[in-house]
Amino acid sequence: MQAITTDLIVELVLRFAIDVAAMAALVFGLYYRRYRDKELVITAGMFNLFAFVILTILSSVEFGIAAGFGLFAVLALFTLRSEEISKTEITYFFGSVAIAVICSIQGTEVAFVAMVVAVVLVAAWVIDHPNMLASVDTVKLTLDRIDRGALSDPEETKRALSARLGVDVMSYRITFIDYVNDVVRVTAHYRTRAGVPTALPAEPHTALPAVRDGGA
């Protein structure tokens, strides 16, 4: 175990400050401002702090780096399996924990850690900027009818979805199908059309057919 010195304390304080600042910028500055999910913000923020403390202690004793990352993976999987969350939430959650890993592992210069974290934050800001892929979005549909020709003619189904929603459906996939109750759930990725509403009023007693995996 490393001896506690003034230099070590100063370094730990600097690493912790970088970690907290980077986590706040990612979770509060980027994620919360765009998605307003308080629960994920609290979870990612607290997990970042706990991971930083655990990995800081482990890196100061005779503890294999592989074992440390194994523990990190187990804890992350345990947390994520408790509830189904979206890919975006998983990404931000992993990013918060990754920042804790970057800042807590000993053997790297503090300046290098700050530079790496800054690059990560800038990349996250660019990738998830509202102007990136602004015209592309995702919608989840629950359909109350399974059409017989839906699986054999996905292009026709895609055209039907596009006409019904007033958008260009680029790709889609089936997430749930129930032949007993004649219900199917579909996730569709679409692109809006200029001057056309994003959703058209539903016609009474009209249902869209089920769809299967497809692409634009």
Q: In this model, does residue 182 exceed pLDDT 80?
A: no
Whether residue 138 is found in the same domain as residue 115: no
- Categorize the per-residue pLDDT at 96 as very low, low, confident or very high, splitting at 50, 70 and 90: very high
Assigned domain for 190 exists: yes
Whether residue 111 is found in the same domain as residue 141: no
Domain boundary among 76, 100, 127: 127
Weakest-pLDDT range from 20-24, 86-90, 175-179, 195-199: 195-199
Assigned domain for 1 exists: no
- If one counts every other C-beta atom within 10 angstroms of the C-beta of residue 194, the result is 5
Domain holding 63, by residue range, is: 6-127
Whether residue 72 is found in the same domain as residue 156: no
Assigned domain for 45 exists: yes
Query: What integer pLDDT is reported at residue 162 of this predicted model?
Result: 82
Residues in the chain: 216
- Categorize the per-residue pLDDT at 142 as very low, low, confident or very high, splitting at 50, 70 and 90: confident
* Pairwise pLDDT comparison (25 vs 88), residue with the higher score: 25
Whether residue 109 is found in the same domain as residue 50: yes
Q: What is the DSSP letter of 31?
A: I
Query: What integer pLDDT is reported at residue 203 of this predicted model?
Result: 42
Whether residue 93 is found in the same domain as residue 188: no
Q: Per the structure block, which two tokens stand in for 57?
A: 């202690």
Whether residue 106 is found in the same domain as residue 171: no
Domain boundary among 127, 145, 160: 127
Assigned domain for 216 exists: yes
Whether residue 10 is found in the same domain as residue 70: yes
SS3 state of residue 129: coil
**Mean pLDDT of the 182-206 span:** 61
Domain boundary among 85, 101, 127: 127
Whether residue 157 is found in the same domain as residue 107: no
Whether residue 64 is found in the same domain as residue 158: no
Nearby residues of 172 by Cβ (< 8 Å), 6 or more positions away: 157, 158, 161, 186, 187, 188, 189, 211, 213, 214
Assigned domain for 37 exists: yes
Instruction: Quote the mean pLDDT of the chain.
Output: 77
pLDDT per residue as tens digits for the range 55-74: 888 776 655 555 556 666 65
Alpha carbons 137 and 208: distance in angstroms, whole number: 19
Q: 161, 184 in Cβ contact below 8 A?
A: no
* Pairwise pLDDT comparison (150 vs 101), residue with the higher score: 101
- Categorize the per-residue pLDDT at 88 as very low, low, confident or very high, splitting at 50, 70 and 90: confident
Alpha carbons 99 and 28: distance in angstroms, whole number: 14
Domains contained in the chain, number: 2
Q: Which contacts of 172-180 are long-range, i.e. CB under 8 A and separated by 24 or more positions?
A: 172/211, 172/213, 172/214, 173/211, 173/212, 173/213, 173/214, 174/210, 174/211, 174/212, 174/213, 175/140, 177/146, 177/210, 179/146
- Using the Cα atoms of residue 35, residue 39, residue 45 and residue 48 in order, give the sign of their dihedral: negative
